[in-house]
Amino acid sequence: MAKKLKQMISDAENLLHSLSNEKTTAEQQREIAAMIRRLSTWLPYMQHERLIHLIVTCLFAIVAFIVLGILLYTLQWSLAILLLLIVVLLIPYIFHYFHLENGVQRLYDLIDDLNERMEME
């Protein structure tokens, strides 16, 4: 999904950059409308992906804090290995969620920019 998100952002940005500041042609209007439809179709899927990763990231963080609490309370250092494994999994999830969140926010901006471009004509 991250690869698809990057490709959609790139396609929309390329379309916006290819448009001149002058009046758009009918063909460009159709391209803009098609891009808006494409982004609007994929946006709910990306939002769903973002929500799932937020839930998983939060659950991993909660489990990490629970294991840390148990480790500090019992001082069983074997739990330190479990905590380390959870943190090792948590860090990539945080970065992935960060990229998904920023990508979805960028999609919102691109859809707004494309809609403004359509309304200019």
Q: Quick one: pLDDT at residue 118?
A: 78
Query: 112 lies in a domain?
Result: yes
Cα 120 to Cα 113: distance, rounded to the nearest angstrom? 11
Q: Are 50 and 97 in contact (CB under 8 A)?
A: yes
Task: Quote the number of domains for the chain.
Answer: 1
pLDDT, tens digit, 9 for 90 and up, residues 11-65: 999 988 887 667 777 888 889 899 999 999 999 999 999 999 999 999 999 999 9
Helix 78-120 crosses helix 2-18 at what angle (to 10 degrees)?
30
Q: Quick one: pLDDT at residue 121?
A: 60
* 38: CB partners within 8 A, 6+ apart: 8, 11
Higher local confidence (pLDDT), 116 or 20: 116
Q: Are 43 and 107 in contact (CB under 8 A)?
A: yes
Query: 98 lies in a domain?
Result: yes
Cα 52 to Cα 97: distance, rounded to the nearest angstrom? 9
Mean of pLDDT values over 64-81: 93
Residue 77: which pLDDT band, with cuts at 50, 70 and 90?
confident
Query: 20 lies in a domain?
Result: no
Q: Answer yes or no: pTM beyond 0.75.
A: yes
Cα 66 to Cα 88: distance, rounded to the nearest angstrom? 16
Q: Quick one: pLDDT at residue 20?
A: 67
| Residue 51, domain extent | 27-116
Query: 15 lies in a domain?
Result: no
Phi-psi bin for 53: left (phi > 0), alpha (psi -120 to 50), beta?
Answer: alpha
Mean of pLDDT values over 85-102: 93
Query: 85 lies in a domain?
Result: yes
